[in-house]
Structure 1
């Protein structure tokens, strides 16, 4: 487990992770989940997550490019320590978007280590992702949000999924961009892969108030180390 600087991004003593005070009495103290499915509370949660996404994306985009490269290098080393020998494994990763850790060099090196790299592809709104094989030098085409995706590649079911986070909590739940693509995908796969969330330590939250549709990761990797459930 790693310790987090939980004051990162806070504006003052009353901004405790942006936690909505109207929801505190409904939170299960053990899991951090909401104990009530009242529609009004769900709307409060939706608004809170939207505000937190904007804050956290702005926080990571504000990291200078040179610092971000250094943080990405450290995250890659932590991934290597966590995952170990990947020979024969299919590893789905991602190409960076809006200040996410840049692991392209790590993805390109997977084939040298005997692994198969894959990238996610958005097929349709509110649908599970596809994972298609890709290696350095193979063509990419613009996908949704102009994120490059494999122009060809083979459809695969990954053994390991490296998922970027907008935010994350101590229970290894990830806050994504809000489309629900990873949650739908991980729930629909024929077998559960090893799921690793990747982000910067400064994106830590006390809780994301997990819901039944939120799929926890097995670990969160930041430049500071590895946090597991």
Structure 2
């Protein structure tokens, strides 16, 4: 494969309604249970605030931001992974005002990249990833999210997108709170190349990282690369 990055096994982002299943999810093995509980409550409030902020974006602003974000992502992917032939790329199906990257998924598919979407097949368990194609007839999965049908092949992503509710320049991610992201990563070895994607206005100074939190390799918004994990 062309480029300076090697495709490796990985995972994709959690479903966007995960927080409605476990809104106070935190690592029970954390050293200080009181501190972990305080962080969980703070995060719940920040999720609500940032989702309101996102919901308040105009259709035009959201469309322009999504277009810019797709351009930055494609540049990042091509510079690091070349033409990406031989890679499996996991995206997501946008809901709740997330950036719409579906045109990029179609473009990658047309370029010979295997595209996958995450599927919840067992609650409170790691995700599985089923192959997606533009002509595929989707079905309604958990929380009514469109997903590939059960007969779509299961694949293991090499590169994964993680939609962001909030993000930090240190490449920490505020997600939806259900813990699917962390459970999935814990089940996979080697670790994936993870790219967090979201709106620039969702920047946070910190998420108060906990033992279970996973750092992204890159954070990308409509403004470009906004965080890069050292050494990746």
TM-score computed with the length of structure 2 as normaliser: 0.81
Deviations 1:43-74 (A, max 9, x none): 11111000000001111111111211111111
Q: What is the root-mean-square deviation in Å for CA atoms of aligned residues?
A: 1.2
For 2:190, what is the secondary structure of its paired residue? coil
Corresponding residue for 2:22?
Answer: none
- Structure 1 residue 190 displacement after superposition: 3.0
> Does structure 2 conserve the Cα–Cα contact (< 8 Å) formed by 1:161 and 1:194?
yes
Matched, 1:54 2:54: no
Matched, 1:64 2:58: yes
Which of 116, 119, 137 matches 1:139?
Answer: 137
- The CA distance in 2 between the partners of 1:131 and 1:174, in whole Å, is 21
Matched, 1:101 2:114: no
Corresponding residue for 2:196?
Answer: 197
Which of 77, 82, 90 matches 2:76?
Answer: 82
For 1:189, what is the secondary structure of its paired residue? coil
- Structure 1 residue 39 displacement after superposition: 1.8
Deviations 1:83-142 (A, max 9, x none): 112222100000112111000111111122221100000122211111110010101111
- The CA distance in 2 between the partners of 1:146 and 1:169, in whole Å, is 29
- Structure 1 residue 37 displacement after superposition: 3.0
- The CA distance in 2 between the partners of 1:202 and 1:106, in whole Å, is 22
> Does structure 2 conserve the Cα–Cα contact (< 8 Å) formed by 1:61 and 1:98?
yes
Corresponding residue for 1:217?
Answer: 216
- Structure 1 residue 171 displacement after superposition: 1.0
Corresponding residue for 1:117?
Answer: 115
> Does structure 2 conserve the Cα–Cα contact (< 8 Å) formed by 1:117 and 1:135?
yes
**Total equivalences in the alignment:** 194
- The CA distance in 2 between the partners of 1:64 and 1:189, in whole Å, is 38
Structure 2: which 5+ residue stretches go unaligned? 1-29
Matched, 1:173 2:172: yes
Which of 122, 126, 129 matches 1:128?
Answer: 126
Between the two structures, name the one with larger relative contact order (CA 8 Å, sep ≥ 6). 2
- The CA distance in 2 between the partners of 1:140 and 1:189, in whole Å, is 26
- The CA distance in 2 between the partners of 1:180 and 1:196, in whole Å, is 17
- The CA distance in 2 between the partners of 1:139 and 1:167, in whole Å, is 32
